[in-house]
Amino acid sequence: MTSKATFGAGCFWGVEATFRELEGVVDAAVGYEGGQMLNPTYKDVCTDRTGHAEVVEVEYDPSKISFERLLDVFWDAHDPTQVNRQGPDSGTQYRSVIFFHTPEQEQAARASKDALEKSGRFRRPIATQIEPAQTFYRAEDYHQQYLAKRGLRHCHI
């Protein structure tokens, strides 16, 4: 039996590639979540007017990898102190967000964020939002495994 976890950490291409490398991750798909428009396209989301974040929906086997381990990878995959941006990408679609699917995921996400805040690892406050999962809209096929299709491991040089 598998579980789902959904993370927004900037451009979804690199985030997807990072999660796909983990043992226990069965699948990872890029898409859009957290906005008002039904069935948004990449073009729609890029207007920064739909309210959606670029996210990765991770399907994982909890007997092989824990949600807490996925959270650790999420925190390491981006700068959670940046508001509505990651690197050169800016806009609400690039916000740092965890969409939880269960009360246990919410509790784990909040505890993990609190522990990270208290760790002193970052000088600025963590901007990551923690919200209930909403409708996940799978991105267009050309976005799925985008980096792998091009023989790349990350987005930015």
Average model confidence (pLDDT) for the chain? 93
Q: What's the pTM value of the predicted model, to 2 decimals?
A: 0.93
> Can you give the pLDDT at residue 152?
66
Q: Is the pLDDT of residue 142 over 50?
A: yes
- Is 27 a member of any domain? yes
- Is 157 a member of any domain? no
Check 11, 58, 98, 108 and give the catalytic one.
Answer: 11
> Can you give the pLDDT at residue 156?
55
- Is 154 a member of any domain? no
Mean pLDDT, rounded, for 128-157: 82
- Is 87 a member of any domain? yes
| Number of domains composing the chain | 1
How confident is residue 151, by pLDDT bands cut at 50, 70 and 90?
Answer: confident
Cα 89 to Cα 37, 80, 107, 117, 156, distances in angstroms: 21, 14, 29, 24, 10
HSE toward the beta carbon, residue 66, CA cutoff 13 A: 8
- Is 57 a member of any domain? yes
- Is 156 a member of any domain? no
Beta bridge partners of 89: 86
- Is 78 a member of any domain? yes
Domain that holds residue 79: 3-149
Per the annotation, the verdict on 46 as an active-site residue is no
DSSP label of 107: H
pLDDT tens-digit map of 10-43: 888 889 999 999 999 999 999 999 999 999 999 9
Beta bridge partners of 59: 4, 27
- Is 155 a member of any domain? no
What's the CATH number where 38 sits? Answer: 3.30.1060.10
